[in-house]
Structure 1
Amino acid sequence: MGEDDDGGREVYGKMRAAAALRQIPRPPPTTFQEDLMEHLPAAIYTLLSCWTRFYQIGKNNHVVWDEAHFGKFGSYYLRREFYFDVHPPLGKMLVGLVGLLSGYNGHFEFKSGDEYKEDVPYVAMRVMLATFGVLMVPLAWYTAKELGFSNRAAHLTTIMVLCDVAWLCISRFILLDSMLLFFTVLTVFCLTRFHTERHDPFSPDWWVWLTFTGISIGCVASVKWVGLFVTALVGVYTLEDLWEKFGDLRMRKRDYINHWLARGLMLIGMPLFIYMMSFKLHFIILNHSGPGDAQMSSLFQANLEGNDFSKNPLEVAYGSKITLKNMGFGGGLLHSHVQTYPVGSQQQQVTCYHYKDDNNNWRVEKPWTLPKVDDAGEIEFLKHGDIVRLQHTPTNRNLHSHNVVAPVSKLNNEVSCYGNATAGDAGDHWQVEIVDDLVFGKREKVPRVRSLTTKLRFRHVLSSCYLVAPNSVLPPWGFKQIEVSCDKQNNPSDPHSHWNVESHWNGRLPVGETKFYKSPFLRDFWHLNVAMMTSNNALVPDADKEDILASSPTDWPWMHLGLRMCGWGDNQTKYYLIGNPAVWWSSTLSLGICVIVIAVYLARMQRGYRDWGVGEWDHFLYVCKIAGLGWFFQYVPFLIMGRVTYIHHYLPTLYFAVLMVGHLFDHFVFKSRRLKDTTKWVIFGIATGIVIGVFWWFRGVAFGIDGPIKEHWGLLWRKSWNIYESH
């Protein structure tokens, strides 16, 4: 190889230089007048958005739809009572903050359909939360401009966001959806703004918009988990960008590594920090015992004010009444109820339940081979290796297992309740195995079983299997509680086979101080997230019940179904969650058109046609990827979910389809070299006129419809909508 031979690097260098030329250059500096004209439309749209979102927002003075949930959760923050929900805490903390700023005292029950009392500032709370919906509209304008839309395309996109009645309706109540929508739109805007700064990496503006993108990701994921779907779009964009930089032979290795570190810090570290901090604040604020205590570990509950754990006797004895908490992440309390298994032995069901209930109570008894516990005799403490019966105190039946297949975990044996206080068999016998203790340490140093701190396993004497609760959800006949079974595999490290005594009652024993036992934050954080995931997975449709509010993801793009948000009586103000047909149908159509257009252009390129100027094809694809992949990542996960779904789950997804409409109008009409400017204005006027006209026709479903619904004719554009039906 000669001295001047670079091994082909010059060729690749020329290719990279050509690729650099195709990039759209940084926009030139703007004047004050240009800045004013850029921001004036956003200001006008903000005022219009305020009118639509705030107009008659207090018209219905009753608890509407999921205000029953999220208003109640906000109340718990004001009362500082611990609760449990399947969504992360940030949005609900903001509901609590809104209530605090409005002067709400936190004592309204938020029962569905109840009339708001005079001391509940529901209008102020709705207005504050609707502000998130207001800000969606100007953000849509700025995002369209960052994507390189012409003024007409940006106006059309923003008007579609302004005039969609589903986005309008969902923003006018005490719900999380307005926050979810706002942070989703904000994430897209920050990403596009960061893309604009790609020419000047590691500059102050570059860092600012990378940081804001990470912050918005953290916020959207901390409101609802579906916010993670927009993270996938940011992730794919980032990987593609880093792949392009990997091919830039002029870039120093140090700079390339710094790009990876910057993305990792701001797009992974920052969102994770915000997500975890929302839970940290959640735990700090909710420091009183409440309805969600049982979802958390016993040690966590011991540090909540208002519970009775400090009155627990420390050492467990025969004759003690106890509750047993499964120590697996998301674990519940050992529970039984009078209902029986419809399969298997058909004996009384045993489950894990996540709420405190008398059916969680068990009495520690001796095996049938030994004399009954003498409540007046000498106290005998529970030790490692002891064989016990656990008698369910409400029904007097005994915790039992046998060689019958468990209903869900088919490899395990069924666990049931059997017999009574005087009759049973050896299938009721369980050997206590101490694993360790928070205070004493290893098993060898633990003299007796202690409440809260001792980790236990229960081995079935006859079958040599272990009592487990691995977060398998029972069918509706088991009330979708967690299955308890007997695992034939001896896996000492399996946390779902670990139990601890949570509540402990024994009048013959002195109470012990348990408040000084602390539960580490990371364990509490992980425990609660697993519990949320388990409960979310349990939200599956009942095969034997019809949910008239639920809908399938395949129903959403063409608006096959709407959703009644409240009662439908003649004397009630009625709200129907349905989109603007002009917005929804055109946006769905645009997604299919985009795929066809890309395929046609690729075919033409293959045949040698030149349809694009410098940088135009790359920019066209960039916007298609933001809108198309954004829609794909938001929509497709719902197709594979097992949980029940509703039309409001599509609302963040819709935003990306609307961006696609503006993009295609720009490509075929507003930036076309073949059409006259007058023609472009006519098409723009017709398109925006249709959107505004359809919005005005359907405005009542968002602003509230009074009187008999059948007097409001012309709303049934699809026979599948249940606007006029009686049920």
Structure 2
Amino acid sequence: MSDHKGARRRGHKGAAVTHAVDADQNVPLYDDSGKDVQDKPRPGQVYRQTGGSSLEKLFMQNLVHITALVYTLLSFWTRFYRIGHAKNVVWDEAHFGKFGSHYIKREFYFDVHPPLGKMLVGLVGFLAGYDGQFDFKSGEAYPENVPFVAMRMMLASFGVGMVPLGWYTAVELGMSQWASHLVALMVLLDVGWLCISRFILLDSMLLFFTVLTVFCLAKFHNQQPRPFSFGWWTWLTFTGISIGLVTSVKMIGLFVTALVGLYTIEDLWEKFGNLQMTVYDQVKHWTARIFCLIVIPILVFMASFKIHFMILNHSGPGDAQMSSLFQAGLEGNEFSDSPLEIAFGSRVSLKNAGFGGGLLHSHAHLYPAGSGQQQITCYHHKDGNNEWDILPLWDEAPLNIEDPIRFLKHNDVIRLRHSMTTRNLHSHQVPAPITKLNHEVSCYGNETIGDYHDYWVVEVADDLIRGSRSNVDQIHALTTRLRFKHQVLGCYLYAGSAVLPQWGWKQIEVSCVPENNPKDMYTYWNVETHRNERLPVGDFKGFKSPFLRDFWHLNVAMMNSNNALIPDPDKEDILASQPFDWPFLYLGLRMCGWADNQTKFYLMGNPIVWWGGGASLIVALGAFLVYLGRMQRQYFVMNDDEWNHFLYVGKIALFGWVLHYAPFLIMGRVTYVHHYLPTLYFAVLMFGHMLDHFIFASRRVGFTAKGVAFGICASAVIGTFWWFKGVAFGIDGPILEHKGLLWRKTWNIYYQ
């Protein structure tokens, strides 16, 4: 780029470009070096130092904050107006309200998202006086004792905070007053952001922390001329904290984390090329970034899980997703009456010890191919089909309660009989249904019929309390980790992450893997529940799983469950949409029933905001390519500062959009239009940036023309908001009575 510095100062046919001046008043702009954005008006920006009374000076000096206050008050109106009008459970309130109930009752549950957002749902329920006893069934009317309006209002406050943050971010990015107002108006009046912020959902928190991260990054960027100053450290630290917060609400917070990462890589690379910077300063910069942008976010993320585990200390519906040892530490667990040592004749459930592993399961359904025998799966919920009886071999004497107790030991050969169907755990040289290189595992025979393919060798791997195999004299429930080797085939009982189709109820495939890999955790099992009337109750007090193991285990389980949310080809999901549907608002989403007597909410965006944002991305790429061509021809009209600002804001908006949008193109999971809402923010920034670049900050456009352009844009945003406000505030009565809402034939507002 150094070869073209002169080119940026050349006009058409060599006409020189003068120092930057205001196009309307012919006044030189302030030297902005070393100043923050509020202090450095850019071309087209209206904020100026003024004379006059001290009150007038005070007003002008705080005009940015006064404007933010006005937008905040307007945001309170849009987010709170008619917020309690729908008195029934709307859309995903059925999920997240229920999760909040679990926090209030302190019952352990499982979900695919990190815990921070749901903890905040529980917190607002607690603050509102909710007792946690409502089931939050979809569409059900809220009883009088559930303060749903107060809960919605407190969560809507995150949506309120988006608006002033949008304003401040535009200012910090160096946009003109015109563009900053438009960005704030678009954040304020987009009916998609508005609608999603008015219910008991996680999305308002996700959006707020995403916007907060971009704001903190912009603030930090403006502190770059003053490295290691108090402001520099403050905003670098706040950027790291906001990264941790957004990721702790939903894992797609990693997308804005990636944006900060790319900014940091570019920043450090430029500093690496600065030969005037000492090695000591280089190391300081790297250390600061590592601590503030890696260590702090990880600590925030882990702290949310630590608090999650501390609050949910009672047994609940999500126990089976966690390790047996973790469950033993929950109050009210079912292990307190279980014997400790395992013996022949014991009835047990077997938990896969891999991270996110389930329980060995069978049911009275057959494989549709292969052997056609009874299915074996891994299941993450507790029921009677998870129970197995440990029995001797067919050619051995049957169990007799008069005989001495025979405890299970390393290298014992056993049969495992499914308690409910009396069939035996079996493997043979038939390919597994999904993992074809493994052998199929099935249930075969009954109490009297079987063969030597029912035999399994018990191998002790280790014990979580006693240590290595040499310290394990007897196999214990919960703590001893086992491997089951098929005596004939030499393969090991295995439950990985392969998910069976609908005929297998979307449960985890269980197979027999021929490779003997002692480090493969998915071949590890432990006894979870244990019943044997001949054995005394064990002492499980003091059994506690370490936090780091629980933290990692839960995150793997979340990831596996999220990956399993794939579209079912046998079912049509009328709510789902594809990523290509989103940027230009091809399809919306009905958030509730559509009967005439129901209040109806349709999740869609403000068309001007969405279409303008999508178009601005295309315009920005085109403009960049044109400018590169003009630079190559030594024909360019922007000076270095203007070009760098054009690139800086453009990269924040474009890379932020791509990083949030592109992953959904390759995800296998089912997607909905609300997944685009964080991505939309970067399209809005690009929309404001392009309007600023071509109109509001242009020297070639007069003040009057700028005002007219602003008026047209602002009127379009406000007008479309007012036209479509009902989809966010709620539409009452027959939908056909509300005319003019079908701007695209693909919107299913009026028909199924």
Cross-structure match for 2:404 = 378
Higher mean displacement: 640-649 or 25-34: 25-34
1:613 aligned to 2:621? no
The equivalent position to 1:307 in structure 2, one of 312, 325, 333, is 333
- Taking the aligned partners of 1:302 and 1:205, their CA distance within structure 2 comes to 47
- CA-CA distance at 1:436 after TM superposition: 1.7
1:271 aligned to 2:297? yes
- CA-CA distance at 1:676 after TM superposition: 1.6
**1:328–1:615 CA distance, 2 compared to 1 (3 A):** same
- Taking the aligned partners of 1:296 and 1:662, their CA distance within structure 2 comes to 47
**C-alpha contact (below 8 Å) 1:220/1:227 kept by paired residues:** yes
1:193 aligned to 2:206? no
Cross-structure match for 2:444 = 418
Provide TM-score, normalisation by structure 2.
0.93
The equivalent position to 1:328 in structure 2, one of 346, 354, 358, is 354
- Taking the aligned partners of 1:341 and 1:437, their CA distance within structure 2 comes to 35
- CA-CA distance at 1:376 after TM superposition: 4.4
- Taking the aligned partners of 1:713 and 1:421, their CA distance within structure 2 comes to 69
Higher mean displacement: 124-133 or 607-616: 607-616
**C-alpha contact (below 8 Å) 2:93/2:138 kept by paired residues:** yes
Aligned to 1:311, the other structure's residue is in SS state coil
- Taking the aligned partners of 1:386 and 1:686, their CA distance within structure 2 comes to 82
Per-residue displacement from partner, 1:551-604 (whole Å, max 9, x unpaired)? Answer: 000110111111000111110000000101111001000000000000000100
**C-alpha contact (below 8 Å) 2:216/2:235 kept by paired residues:** yes
The equivalent position to 1:162 in structure 2, one of 188, 193, 198, is 188
The equivalent position to 2:34 in structure 1, one of 26, 30, 55, is 26
Cross-structure match for 1:73 = 99
Cross-structure match for 2:309 = 283
Cross-structure match for 1:497 = 523
- CA-CA distance at 1:462 after TM superposition: 1.0
Q: How does 1:97-246 map to 2 (within 5 A)?
A: 97-246=123-272
The equivalent position to 2:545 in structure 1, one of 515, 519, 535, is 519
- Taking the aligned partners of 1:638 and 1:35, their CA distance within structure 2 comes to 44
- Taking the aligned partners of 1:572 and 1:204, their CA distance within structure 2 comes to 54
- Taking the aligned partners of 1:581 and 1:442, their CA distance within structure 2 comes to 63
Cross-structure match for 1:351 = 377
The equivalent position to 2:721 in structure 1, one of 695, 698, 714, is 695
**C-alpha contact (below 8 Å) 1:24/1:619 kept by paired residues:** no
The equivalent position to 1:47 in structure 2, one of 73, 94, 99, is 73
Cross-structure match for 2:670 = 644
Aligned to 1:639, the other structure's residue is in SS state helix
Cross-structure match for 1:294 = 320
1:669 aligned to 2:677? no
Q: How does 1:259-658 map to 2 (within 5 A)?
A: 259-658=285-684
The equivalent position to 1:82 in structure 2, one of 108, 111, 122, is 108
CA RMSD of aligned residues (A): 1.7
**Identity between Structure 1 and Structure 2 (%):** 65
Per-residue displacement from partner, 1:278-304 (whole Å, max 9, x unpaired)? Answer: 000000000000000010111000010
Aligned to 2:536, the other structure's residue is in SS state coil
- Taking the aligned partners of 2:401 and 2:604, their CA distance within structure 1 comes to 65
**C-alpha contact (below 8 Å) 1:78/1:100 kept by paired residues:** yes
Aligned to 2:290, the other structure's residue is in SS state helix
**C-alpha contact (below 8 Å) 1:157/1:662 kept by paired residues:** yes
- CA-CA distance at 1:701 after TM superposition: 0.4
- Taking the aligned partners of 2:319 and 2:660, their CA distance within structure 1 comes to 33
- Taking the aligned partners of 1:459 and 1:96, their CA distance within structure 2 comes to 45
1:680 aligned to 2:688? no
- Taking the aligned partners of 2:499 and 2:300, their CA distance within structure 1 comes to 31
- Taking the aligned partners of 2:280 and 2:563, their CA distance within structure 1 comes to 44
- Taking the aligned partners of 1:405 and 1:614, their CA distance within structure 2 comes to 65
Aligned to 1:452, the other structure's residue is in SS state coil
- AA aligned to 1:472 is A
Cross-structure match for 2:744 = 718
- Taking the aligned partners of 2:480 and 2:32, their CA distance within structure 1 comes to 65
- Taking the aligned partners of 2:90 and 2:722, their CA distance within structure 1 comes to 23
- CA-CA distance at 1:510 after TM superposition: 0.3
- AA aligned to 1:47 is L
**C-alpha contact (below 8 Å) 1:471/1:534 kept by paired residues:** yes
- AA aligned to 1:279 is F
Per-residue displacement from partner, 1:351-403 (whole Å, max 9, x unpaired)? Answer: 11111111111111111111222244332111111111111111111111000
Per-residue displacement from partner, 1:19-49 (whole Å, max 9, x unpaired)? Answer: xx99962337586333321111111111111
**C-alpha contact (below 8 Å) 2:627/2:636 kept by paired residues:** no
- Taking the aligned partners of 2:33 and 2:269, their CA distance within structure 1 comes to 20
Per-residue displacement from partner, 1:480-506 (whole Å, max 9, x unpaired)? Answer: 211111010011121111111010011
- AA aligned to 2:34 is R
**C-alpha contact (below 8 Å) 1:295/1:330 kept by paired residues:** yes
Aligned to 1:91, the other structure's residue is in SS state helix
Provide TM-score, normalisation by structure 1.
0.96
- Taking the aligned partners of 1:88 and 1:606, their CA distance within structure 2 comes to 49
- Taking the aligned partners of 1:721 and 1:376, their CA distance within structure 2 comes to 73
**C-alpha contact (below 8 Å) 2:34/2:226 kept by paired residues:** no
- CA-CA distance at 1:521 after TM superposition: 0.5
- CA-CA distance at 1:614 after TM superposition: 3.8
- Taking the aligned partners of 2:339 and 2:195, their CA distance within structure 1 comes to 54
- CA-CA distance at 1:276 after TM superposition: 0.4
The equivalent position to 1:254 in structure 2, one of 280, 287, 292, is 280
- Taking the aligned partners of 1:47 and 1:97, their CA distance within structure 2 comes to 24
Per-residue displacement from partner, 1:328-362 (whole Å, max 9, x unpaired)? Answer: 11111111111211221121111111111111111
Cross-structure match for 1:4 = none
- CA-CA distance at 1:476 after TM superposition: 2.0
Cross-structure match for 2:14 = none
- Taking the aligned partners of 1:678 and 1:359, their CA distance within structure 2 comes to 76
- CA-CA distance at 1:225 after TM superposition: 0.4
In structure 1, runs of 5+ residues without a counterpart are: 1-10
- AA aligned to 1:66 is D
- AA aligned to 1:626 is I
- CA-CA distance at 1:440 after TM superposition: 3.3
- AA aligned to 2:184 is T
- Taking the aligned partners of 1:35 and 1:208, their CA distance within structure 2 comes to 23
- Taking the aligned partners of 1:619 and 1:673, their CA distance within structure 2 comes to 16
Cross-structure match for 2:24 = none
- CA-CA distance at 1:541 after TM superposition: 0.1
Cross-structure match for 1:3 = none
- CA-CA distance at 1:434 after TM superposition: 1.0
Higher mean displacement: 440-449 or 589-598: 440-449
